[in-house]
Structure 1
Amino acid sequence: MLNLFVDIECRGEKLANLMLLLAAAIWGFGFVAQRLGMESLEPFAFNGLRFVIGAMSLLPLIWFLKTKGRVKGAGETGFWRRALVGSLGCGGILFIAASFQQVGLLHTTAANAGFITGLYIVLVPVLGIMLKHSTGLNTWLGCAIAVVGLYFLSVGEDFSISFGDGLQLVGALFWAMHILAVDHYATRIAPVVLACGQFLVCALASFVVSLMMETTTLAGVQAAWGSLAYAGLISVGVAYTLQVLAQKHAHPAHAAIILSLETVFAAIGGMLFLDETLGPRALFGCGLMLFGMLISQIPLRYLVKSRHQKVT
């Protein structure tokens, strides 16, 4: 595992996309852990604990990389100032997004939370235009197909949206902003330092809110240890770090579409562990999302060229 983190900066876009897909799978099943964890803990306490666990899990890796001289820019003037700014920026947005998601999970299913969170696939390229990011036609087509899939997955026939779904919808905007923030800072700060820093900022903000609004007991923490272990070590410590590392080599709009597949994995996890169900309509939506991801990764000129060669 350490070798994977050490060598990732030398790998290309294909490996980055695979890492993003793995992160999506981890996050998808993480919705199950987040719901189960709140049977014993309140939202902000759960977020604070899982993010501080995630941050602590990265400290040995940072120490290892530093001893090998692999923390890029660590000796440069202004490195820690850039790290602090990046951590505050990404961590602040992460705190807001994670808060809307976690509180929303009190009022909706893991499947719905995953589906609606995936709406950031539309918001990332839209916000990216404001930042003068170039976005190809294939990405827009992939986004459109994926959005139609999300409609079939998450919007009822009466077009109703519950309170919990509404919170997830607001959170989707901040998840999109978080992807763009990570894309901005990941090339300026050592990825593992940025990951650890943003986790600590998010954890601190969550603990402050929890102390003001919630009551946390040791018995509750002990009862939620399994969910915290997965949500902290795997969902935060591994998956968010995979995102930061991979986004050094992946287009932010492509990253958004791949990461949105967490909605599919959330639905699978909900069915397997929470007895949630998906009908034919929802399954059709999952298929559209997968198709949208594939379209976004294949330039249309390549498809046209391949078609032309077959005809001739």
Structure 2
Amino acid sequence: MPQRLTQLPSHTQADLLLILTTLLAGAGWIFSKEALQGFEPVHFISIRFILAGLLLVLLGYRSLRRLTVTEFTQACKVGGLFSVAMILWILGLNYASHVGIGAFLTSLGVVLVPIVSLCFGEKPDRSLWLSLPVVIAGLGCLSLDSHFIFGIGELFFLLAALLFAVFFVMNSRYSARIATMPLTAIQLLLTGIVAFSVSLFMEQQIWQQTASIWGWLLASAFIATSLRFYVQTQAQGMASSSHAAIIMTLEPVWTALFAAFWLHESMSLLQFLGCLLIFTAMLINRWKVIWQLIRPASHITS
């Protein structure tokens, strides 16, 4: 981490790292979409995460050796959950017709975080119940739009969102106790191994690709995966899951902007309204934490 960044307060460091995470994540949607022009979806995700995981294993070999059996087991548990979520996500990206809308559907995992937290003994805030009708209204706008078809790709995105919510809560808990490098390396490498095993039974292994396809894959592996998840795991260890989830809501916004610029996607009025309602629901869901962040600033200005 740059020295100037380390001199900032820890909460500010976490915020900046999480914003960087959302930018890398948004770019990753485009990298992956381009790579899918040549690779089968699960085969692609397996190569992407094996490469990303191996890089972090090499960089963090010493820290991996220092892991206890309990820490290694916890890292594998989160990694196994993440692998299933990523397989569902890449299948969604492969079959869905609109990347920007898919990003907002996947981001519903943020709304589901407090619901999942119930299973870990946390009590949900009233904002959760206020956000749910807004989510339903947003999904309703998408379903009513004649140009939008809710197909198998969108279903994969929603299932992935549920698993990402579970992963987010568990990862926030474990990242506070396990070093960032080994935790991230195990998660990524295990995801690649699981995906490759699934791909062997589901898909044809096509290795002969153009240089551009390999370029997109390498960008996905090292920029949108190794770097992105290392930064995210480090940031989550410095912030609560609720605080981190607020900033992570920026990911679908960046994704939609990147998709509009690179893939020339556009949204109808109903589609835009649906995505706006989903984004609003995410903010309502985190309003209590947002208000706590706003209050100190208002005291300082007054």
For the aligned pair, the TM-score class normalised by the smaller chain equals 0.7 to 0.9
> Which letter maps to 1:163?
I
Q: Aligned-pair distance for 1:21? A: 1.8
Name the counterpart of 1:289: 279
Name the counterpart of 2:221: 232
Deviations 1:62-119 (A, max 9, x none): 25xx4xxxx4x965xxx33134212321111111111111111122121122111001
In the comparison of the two structures, how many residue pairs are matched? 296
Please, which of 254, 268, 275 is the counterpart of residue 257 of structure 2?
268
Contact 2:89 2:156 (8 Å CA) reproduced: yes
Name the counterpart of 1:249: 238
TM-score by length of 2: 0.83
CA RMSD, 1 decimal: 3.6
> Which letter maps to 1:122?
V
Give the whole-Å Cα distance in 1 for the aligned partners of 2:137 and 2:216: 29
Name the counterpart of 1:299: 291
> Which letter maps to 1:197?
I
Please, which of 15, 19, 41 is the counterpart of residue 17 of structure 2?
19
> Which letter maps to 1:80?
T
Answering whether residue 73 of structure 2 is matched by residue 85 of structure 1, we say yes
Please, which of 56, 59, 76 is the counterpart of residue 58 of structure 1?
56
Q: Aligned-pair distance for 1:251? A: 1.9
What does 1:54-203 correspond to in 2, within 5 Å?
Answer: 54-63=52-61, 66=62, 71=63, 75=66, 79-108=67-96, 109-133=98-122, 140=128, 147=135, 151=139, 154-157=142-145, 161-203=150-192
Unmatched tracts of structure 2, length 5 or more: none
Give the whole-Å Cα distance in 1 for the aligned partners of 2:154 and 2:79: 23
Give the whole-Å Cα distance in 2 for the aligned partners of 1:4 and 1:214: 47
Contact 2:181 2:230 (8 Å CA) reproduced: yes
> Which letter maps to 2:91?
V
Name the counterpart of 1:33: 31
Give the whole-Å Cα distance in 1 for the aligned partners of 2:12 and 2:263: 33
Contact 2:26 2:258 (8 Å CA) reproduced: yes
Name the counterpart of 2:206: 217
Contact 1:28 1:266 (8 Å CA) reproduced: yes
- What SS does structure 1 have at the residue aligned with 2:121? coil
> Which letter maps to 1:292?
L
Q: Aligned-pair distance for 1:253? A: 2.4
- What SS does structure 2 have at the residue aligned with 1:41? coil
Q: Could you say if the C-alpha distance between residues 251 and 212 of structure 1 is closer, same or farther in structure 2, counting changes exceeding 3 Å?
A: same
Q: Aligned-pair distance for 1:278? A: 2.6
TM-score by length of 1: 0.80
Give the whole-Å Cα distance in 1 for the aligned partners of 2:262 and 2:189: 30
